[in-house]
Amino acid sequence: MALVERDIQLDEHKRLKHLLTLEGLKAHHLTEILDLAETFFDANGELRKVPLLRGKTIMNVFFEPSTRTRTTFEIAEKRLSADVVNLNIATSATKKGESLQDTLWNLQAMGADMFVIRHADSGAAHFFARQVAEGVHVLNAGDGRHAHPSQALLDMFTIRKHKGDIYDLKVAIVGDILHSRVARSQIQALSILGAREIRVIGPRTLMPSCPEALGVHVYHDMDAGLEDVDVVIMLRLQNERMSGARLPSEKEFFRLYGLTEQRLERAKPDAIVMHPGPINRGVEIDSAVADGPRSVILDQVTNGIAVRMAIMAVIFSNAARHPQEDAS
């Protein structure tokens, strides 16, 4: 499925009406979401329930399996007081031959105000955004190898929460860069927010062609790549997206690129460890690190609820604003 122009996600006032990718967005688009997410935590650090989307219907349409993303979106939607519909793809009409377009139009006829889409094809969320009626919004919850913008935003929120401003940080992203939509969105987010240095670490077989074009520093040696970094983001091996043998074995991958306590010593003493999940212990990360004091992996999950609340709240708020407000 071919990708379409990224500006489809912005309205005529350059405000978000969909969230399909972070490519082409400005720092103020991201910081508006991150700042709003902060307000959804109460004084005790618990997430509040607010009536911002009461009366809105949000449909979660996941054509790929998911645990964290789908569940946190659903919780976020309910925290915003929206009506939530989860489409069971295993029993949907697409299994009977219905086209994606017809599925969309039928769901839209049921009164959807927003679709949260996950699909194996790159560009599926853009396709939905091109087809929906005016006033209906689309959020990309992951499309093929292309993008996972809400994951990258919750990662930026987590980094900001633990490390402060992002602009002075060195961040290392480790593992299967080639197949990872998360890595692409993380690199875009870090670039937009002005991170000091972005490193990608992994074997040549799991790197995209010309990775330097992404504005990153490439390392094939794990120890060298981790030297003096502030943040380490580990990635899962995307075995379901690999064609052919790209690794000798998972055991060999862990030996060369697995994050252990010993390897983590090369990073700064206060470096944090992140992982978008699901974790494969003993493949990309050792349990002692995943469960250790520098791990913020579970924080990422909690923060994901607040950030996804903020994304939806910003988009619906933009849609409700009167054009004259921009002139004031």
pLDDT digits (tens, 9 = 90+) for 14-28: 999 999 999 999 999
11 and 117 co-located in one domain: yes
Distances (CA, A) of 90 to 61, 96, 98, 115, 303: 11, 10, 13, 18, 29
Mean per-residue pLDDT for 177-186? Answer: 95
Q: How confident is the model at residue 184 (pLDDT cuts 50, 70, 90)?
A: very high
Residue 41 belongs to some domain of the structure = yes
Residue 241's pLDDT is 43
CA distance 81 to 23: 30
CATH code at position 240: 3.40.50.1370
The two three-digit tokens of residue 77, written as one number? 């939607």
Q: How far apart are CA 253 and CA 29, in angstroms?
A: 37
pLDDT single digits (tens) 273-298: 999 999 999 999 999 999 999 999 99
Question: To 5 degrees, how large is the angle CA 144–CA 213–CA 166?
Answer: 85
Regarding whether 110 and 10 lie in a shared domain, the answer is yes
Which residues, in sequence order, are CB contacts of 298 under 8 Å at separation 6+? Answer: none
Co-location of 165 and 276 in the same domain: yes
Task: Tell me if 190 is assigned to some domain.
Answer: yes
Q: Are residues 127 and 14 in the same domain?
A: yes
Structure tokens given for 50: 């607010």
The answer to whether position 72 is within a domain reads yes
139 and 263 housed in the same domain: no
Same domain, 187 and 234: yes
Residue type, 152: A
Supply the pLDDT for residue 244. 44
Q: Give residue 94's pLDDT band: very low, low, confident or very high (50, 70, 90).
A: low
- pLDDT score for 322: 59
Count structural domains, the chain: 2
Return the pLDDT at 99.
79
- The tokens for 307 are 């950030």
Both 81 and 140 in one domain: the answer is yes
Residues 216 and 291 in one domain: yes
pLDDT digits (tens, 9 = 90+) for 30-88: 999 999 999 999 999 999 999 999 999 999 999 888 888 999 999 999 999 999 999 86
- 62 with 177, same domain: the answer is no
Query: How many Å separate Cα 303 from the centre of its chain?
Result: 12
pLDDT beyond 50 at 328: no
Q: Is residue 1 one of the residues assigned to a domain?
A: no
In a domain, 68, yes or no: yes
> Does 247 lie in the same domain as 171?
yes
Q: How many residues in total does the chain contain?
A: 328
Judgement on whether residues 291 and 158 belong to the same structural domain of the protein: yes
Q: What's the pTM value of the predicted model, to 2 decimals?
A: 0.92
Give the structural domain span for 49.
Answer: 6-147+302-326
* In a shared domain, residues 141 and 162: no
Structure confidence by residue, pLDDT tens digits, 220-260: 999 999 999 999 999 998 754 444 445 668 899 999 999 99
Asked if residue 27 is part of any domain, the answer here is yes
The pLDDT of residue 250: 86
309 domain-assigned: yes
Q: Is residue 102 part of a domain?
A: yes
Q: What's the mean pLDDT when you consider all of the chain?
A: 90
